[in-house]
Amino acid sequence: MSLVTLLPFIVLIGAMFLMTRSAKKKQQQAANMRNEMQPGSGVRTIGGMYATVKEVNDDTVLLDAGPGVDLLFAKNSIGAVLTDDEYNRIVHGIEHDLKSDADVVPDDASSLTESDAATDAASDEQPVDLGKKDADDEPAGEPTADAAPAEAKTDEQAKKSDGGSEAK
């Protein structure tokens, strides 16, 4: 056999080796992460539930999911161990302000282009009603004389179209 015929097999075996090596590395990192869990750390399960670790055993983890709710999970079902800041941000909505000394950037450029007088004048204006209003809006009550013939015509047209379809 020549080298040209063996080359595709060598490349295939090399690719398989590299893929299994990277998968093994990911599995090892996940196992290390699960073994480093300590009581009090926040975790996310593979099902998406957030909880606090209460107790760690060899193959199981006892999680505190809320007041009076303790759940027993397999260690393999822990998807991620979260930092305290990340856990508090997701579960409790507490934002840790890392940029407390930084300048505040406005959401839009209007505050940079308008003057203070224009802003004050705009706030004193009446709110704009953007609701849809038809020209023939009438107050609630009895319909006018014009409305009754219009209703009769639409009923008559509906009867004609129903009758025509039944005749066929």
Question: Quick one: pLDDT at residue 168?
Answer: 47
Strand partners, 51: 43
Q: What is the pTM of this model?
A: 0.46
Chain centroid to Cα 157, Å, comes to 49
Q: For residue 117, is pLDDT > 60?
A: no
Instruction: For tokens 């670790």, name the residue.
Output: 53
Measured between alpha carbons, how far is 97 from 158 in angstroms, rounded to an integer? 65
Taking CA atoms, 32 is separated from 18, 20, 26, 52, 167, in Å, by 21, 18, 10, 18, 78
- The answer for residues whose C-beta is within 8 angstroms of residue 80's C-beta and 6 or more apart is 33, 43, 44
Instruction: For tokens 């379809």, name the residue.
Output: 165
Q: Which candidate, 82, 57, 61, places its Cα nearest to that of 71?
A: 61
Tens-digit pLDDT profile for residues 54-102: 999 988 999 998 888 999 999 889 988 888 888 888 888 877 655 555 5
Taking a C-beta distance cutoff of 8 angstroms, is the pair 33, 77 a contact? no
Burial of 63 (0-12, 13-18, 19+ CB in 10 A): buried
Tens-digit pLDDT profile for residues 5-23: 888 889 999 999 888 888 8
Instruction: For tokens 């809006």, name the residue.
Output: 137
DSSP 8-state code for residue 89: I
